[in-house]
Amino acid sequence: MFKKNFKKIWKAIVRSLAIAFFFTCLFITITYFVCLKKIDTYLVFFNNFTFSGVTEEHKIEIDKLTKELVHYPNYGDQYGTISLPTVGIKVNLYHGDSMSILKRGAGHYAGSYFPSEGGTILIAAHNRREYFKYLPKLNVGDPIVIDTDYGTFTYTVTNGRVETISELEKLDIQHEEEILVLYTCYPVDALGFTDKRYVVYAKLEGVAYES
Amino acid sequence: MKKSIFAVIAVALMVGFTNVHAMTEAELQAKLTKAYTINGVTYQADAAQKVQIERYLKENEISASEADFLASQVDEAVAVIAESGAKSISEIPAAYQEKLTAIANKVTDTTGIQFTVADGQVVVTDGSGKTILTAGDSMVKKTNNNNVIVASSLISLVGIAFVARKFF
């Protein structure tokens, strides 16, 4: 008798939890698609189900005497990797930072300079464990390494801080000094969209060109 | 976005030609990236677009005589916008928009350049499909790993399907 009642009660509890979970998910879905940032929601949702496409890896050509880049990768091509040795992360680095590119790895903003060009380099990646989730764990003095076909570039972290989107949009894309800027959404464990980014600034420390 | 449209048109005009003298290239770059004040409003390629224009010109050679042609087309586009009296791209009357479209179409027919919208931004590619310029999107991208939306949507759909099957 007790067993029978226990089974009935247990079934009722499980059913109630399932219904509550379902309605919670439905509420979250409706809130995102109807009330919050609708366009962002639709873009992110459908981007998750789109095919990322095949990318090619193109060698970048460099002038051997002046070390200037003479041929650049196409938008969407992988041209190297970016490593954060302190946290043991290595991510593929692509030219461009569209949503489909960011699904595959780190995206280099096409409106910024390439490593070796002596300007601002802006790179973004998702706050996933295998990408830039551990960016906030970098300290001043930690190394960041960008490895490409034409050379290996080592940078040293000079600053790391939380900025709003509008603050980061004021970043100066200058051509006087080589500055590497990495960013990802913050808080890194946020469940929803966030207007903040964790930004790491680094200066060029050393270059080893490919022979 | 609206101010970058001018830069996009200016960049589009220079694509598809071959062989530039170094001196002309610098002048052309200056022409494409300088500020144009039209009807009291200043239009100029932003820093990011200047980088992309500089990069494209560095990698691709353009003929000197055709650079003059491009410069004249830029002047024509500026004149059209000035004549319209509009203080923003969105205010340009339909008749003048058609004239600007005609300039863009002439460029497309001559150079093979394409304008596409992908991933929330305008992408300008040359005849070979190589990207010249991206415009219209923010420099700062969405980089949060928002699986909540996907998970909650899928669970909702499963739940709705489970309930709906009782009625069918």
| Annotated domain spans of chain A | 2-35, 55-209
- Examine residue B160 and state whether it is found in any structural domain, yes or no: no
**pLDDT the model gives residue B1:** 47
pLDDT digits (tens, 9 = 90+) for B52-76: 888 888 887 777 776 777 777 788 8
Q: What is the mean pLDDT of residues A6-23?
A: 81
**pLDDT the model gives residue B103:** 84
**pLDDT the model gives residue B20:** 43
Return the residue in B46, B58, B130, B139 with the most chain A beta carbons within 10 A, the one to mutate for interface testing.
B139
Q: Which of residues 106-125 of B touch A (CB under 8 A)?
A: 118-121, 123
Banded model confidence at residue B148, pLDDT cuts 50, 70, 90: low
A21 contacts B134? CB cut-off 8 A: no
Nearest to B144 among A24, A100, A127 (CB): A127
* Residue B49 at interface with chain A, using a CB cutoff of 8 Å: yes
Does residue B165 register a pLDDT over 50?
yes
- Which residues of A fall within a CB distance of 8 Å from B144? 126-127, 185, 190, 192-194
Nearest to B148 among A43, A132, A192 (CB): A192
- Examine residue B162 and state whether it is found in any structural domain, yes or no: no
User: Burial of A50 by CB count in 10 Å (0-12 exposed, 13-18 middle, 19+ buried)?
Assistant: exposed
* Closest residue on chain B to A167 (Cα): B140
**pLDDT the model gives residue B23:** 41
A193 contacts B131? CB cut-off 8 A: no
Query: Which residue in B18, B9, B12 sits closest to B131, CA to CA?
Result: B12
pLDDT digits (tens, 9 = 90+) for A84-132: 999 999 999 999 998 889 999 999 999 999 999 999 999 999 999 999 9
A182 vs B81 pLDDT, higher one = A182
Nearest to B118 among A98, A107, A193 (CB): A98
Nearest to A98 among B46, B119, B151 (CB): B119
**pLDDT the model gives residue B143:** 78
Boundaries of domain holding B114: 2-139
**pLDDT the model gives residue A106:** 97
- Examine residue B36 and state whether it is found in any structural domain, yes or no: yes
B140 contacts A168? CB cut-off 8 A: yes
- Examine residue B91 and state whether it is found in any structural domain, yes or no: yes
- Examine residue B153 and state whether it is found in any structural domain, yes or no: no
Q: How many domains does chain B have?
A: 1
Query: Which residue in A162, A39, A55 sits closest to A107, CA to CA?
Result: A55
Report which secondary-structure segment, H or E, holds A24: helix A2-30
pLDDT digits (tens, 9 = 90+) for A47-93: 555 544 444 555 677 887 777 888 888 888 999 999 999 999 999 99
The fold adopted by the segment(s) A55-209 is Sortase; Chain: A; (2.40.260)
- Least confident piece of the model among A12-16, A29-33, B37-41: A29-33
Q: Which of residues 130-159 of B touch A (CB under 8 A)?
A: 130-131, 134, 138-153, 155-156, 159
- Least confident piece of the model among A127-131, B21-25, B118-122, B133-137: B21-25
- Examine residue B155 and state whether it is found in any structural domain, yes or no: no
User: How many residues comprise chain B?
Assistant: 168
**pLDDT the model gives residue A167:** 94
B63 vs B139 pLDDT, higher one = B139
- Which residues of A fall within a CB distance of 8 Å from B146? 44, 191-193
B148 contacts A99? CB cut-off 8 A: no
**pLDDT the model gives residue A33:** 67
- The two beta strands, A179-186 and B41-43, are unpaired
Helices B47-59 and B22-33: crossing angle in degrees, nearest 10, is 160
Report which secondary-structure segment, H or E, holds A76: none
Closest-CA distance, B84 to chain A, in angstroms, reads: 31
- Examine residue B159 and state whether it is found in any structural domain, yes or no: no
User: Burial of B78 by CB count in 10 Å (0-12 exposed, 13-18 middle, 19+ buried)?
Assistant: middle
**pLDDT the model gives residue B71:** 77
